[in-house]
A = this chain, B = another copy of it.
Amino acid sequence: MQIDELIHGVLAGERRSVARAISLVEDGDPGLEALSAGIYAATGVAGTIGLTGAPGVGKSTLATELVRAAREHELRVAVLAVDPTSPYTGGALLGDRVRMQEHATDPDVFIRSMATRGHLGGMALAAPEAVRILDAAGYARVVVETVGVGQAEVDVAAATDTAVVVLAPGLGDAVQMAKAGILEIADIFVVNKSDREGASEVVRELRQMVQLGGVREWQPPILETSALHRGGVEELWSAIELHRTYLQTSGVLEVKRHARLLREVEALAAERFRVNAARTLAGEPQLAADVAARRLDPYAAAAMLVRKASGS
């Protein structure tokens, strides 16, 4: 498929083109630059929602329920499940998506797991581009679900308009989440599996944590859901839409997005440079040998590498 054709397909909201375009992002395909340039003007329309939390809290189930809610409100919706590449998992992960099969035939729903096999900068840089593809394809809401609770996942979630942090009883308490640096990115907290023992304790802990954060213009609500039984999902949807309205009317949305784009440009530039640096380093066996022999320390070697890679 030619890139022009692909761009046309994405802008027309054609499923096959959207899927193919996201694969280009995963692979870090050279066609990505032309694709990015071709769709960019059509982006910035979708409301993006991050869904993050420890493994096992029920993020996938919650994502499925958000899809249902979006459809009830007659909005086109996409889910992007961002998974790190793992030789052990691969296709197996799709098993999780089985639950979403009920939406598989709905032309206004797009669901996709995404790994980052070749994209420079990993998922932190690949995810925003994939989200832009879905945005350009006319999905009014894009849910980005991350796996794990580490720094990279926090970065991906923080790069959405509305970051929803999901907890569940018995799966790492609020203190543990705080350690992972995840609490302060939350626009909305969800305690899922609210029918389980310990749920009210998690809510109480969270409330204390949020109070420690002081008074803010947007005070993150703490909601309880039981996604498997569809409890509390409509309230979550309303909270997300309320947050979106707040972002738009306050002007915070524009400020946040502008800052995010500039950071992304910087990071993309650094990754481009890194490719140059790796090539330069490969052509400097003496430098590598000096580092290995502990004659030249990594910081000094990096400084030399920047000079050499910039000069060429």
User: Which A residues contact B (CB, under 8 angstroms)?
Assistant: 32-33, 36-37, 39-41, 43-44, 54-56, 83-89, 92-93, 122-123, 128-129, 147-154, 170-173, 176-181, 183-184, 209, 212-213, 257-258, 261-262, 264-274, 276-278, 281, 288, 291-292, 294-303, 305-306, 309-310
Q: Which residues of chain B come closer than 8 Å to A292, judged between CB atoms?
A: 257-258, 261
Q: How far is the CB of A298 from chain B (nearest CB, A)?
A: 5
Among A151, A262, A310, the most chain B Cβ lie within 10 Å of the Cβ of A151
Specify which of B147, B265, B278 is in contact with A298 (CB 8 Å cutoff). B265
Q: Which residues of chain B come closer than 8 Å to A294, judged between CB atoms?
A: 40-41, 43-44
Known: A86-B183, A179-B55, A298-B36. A154 touches B149 (CB 8 A): no
The answer to whether B265 and A36 touch across the interface, beta carbons within 8 angstroms, is no
Q: Which residues of chain B come closer than 8 Å to A273, judged between CB atoms?
A: 269-270, 273-274, 277, 306, 309-310
Q: Which residues of chain B come closer than 8 Å to A153, judged between CB atoms?
A: 150-151
Interface of A is mostly: helix
Question: In the complex, what distance in Å separates the CA atom of A268 from the CA atom of B302?
Answer: 6
Question: In the complex, what distance in Å separates the CA atom of A62 from the CA atom of B264?
Answer: 38
Known: A89-B179, A265-B305. A151 touches B152 (CB 8 A): yes
The answer to whether A179 and B268 touch across the interface, beta carbons within 8 angstroms, is no
The answer to whether B274 and A266 touch across the interface, beta carbons within 8 angstroms, is yes
Specify which of B33, B150, B177, B265 is in contact with A154 (CB 8 Å cutoff). B150
Known: A173-B56, A266-B278, A269-B277. A179 touches B299 (CB 8 A): no
Among A272, A276, A292, A300, the most chain B Cβ lie within 10 Å of the Cβ of A272
Specify which of B40, B172, B276, B296 is in contact with A55 (CB 8 Å cutoff). B172
Q: Which residues of chain B come closer than 8 Å to A87, judged between CB atoms?
A: 184, 213
The answer to whether B179 and A86 touch across the interface, beta carbons within 8 angstroms, is yes
Among A87, A265, A276, A278, the most chain B Cβ lie within 10 Å of the Cβ of A265
The answer to whether B271 and A270 touch across the interface, beta carbons within 8 angstroms, is yes
The answer to whether B179 and A147 touch across the interface, beta carbons within 8 angstroms, is yes
Q: Which residues of chain B come closer than 8 Å to A184, judged between CB atoms?
A: 86-88
Known: A55-B176, A291-B261. A297 touches B171 (CB 8 A): no
Closest residue of chain B to A297, judged by CB? B40
Question: In the complex, what distance in Å separates the CA atom of A56 from the CA atom of B184?
Answer: 19
Q: Which residues of chain B come closer than 8 Å to A33, judged between CB atoms?
A: 299-300, 303
The answer to whether B148 and A122 touch across the interface, beta carbons within 8 angstroms, is no
Q: Which residues of chain B come closer than 8 Å to A149, judged between CB atoms?
A: 54-55, 148-150
Closest residue of chain B to A309, judged by CB? B269
Question: In the complex, what distance in Å separates the CA atom of A172 from the CA atom of B129?
Answer: 30
Q: How far is the CB of A147 from chain B (nearest CB, A)?
A: 5
Q: How far is the CB of A180 from chain B (nearest CB, A)?
A: 4
Question: In the complex, what distance in Å separates the CA atom of A230 from the CA atom of B228?
Answer: 39
Question: In the complex, what distance in Å separates the CA atom of A154 from the CA atom of B292?
Answer: 23
The answer to whether A270 and B270 touch across the interface, beta carbons within 8 angstroms, is yes
Q: How far is the CB of A189 from chain B (nearest CB, A)?
A: 13
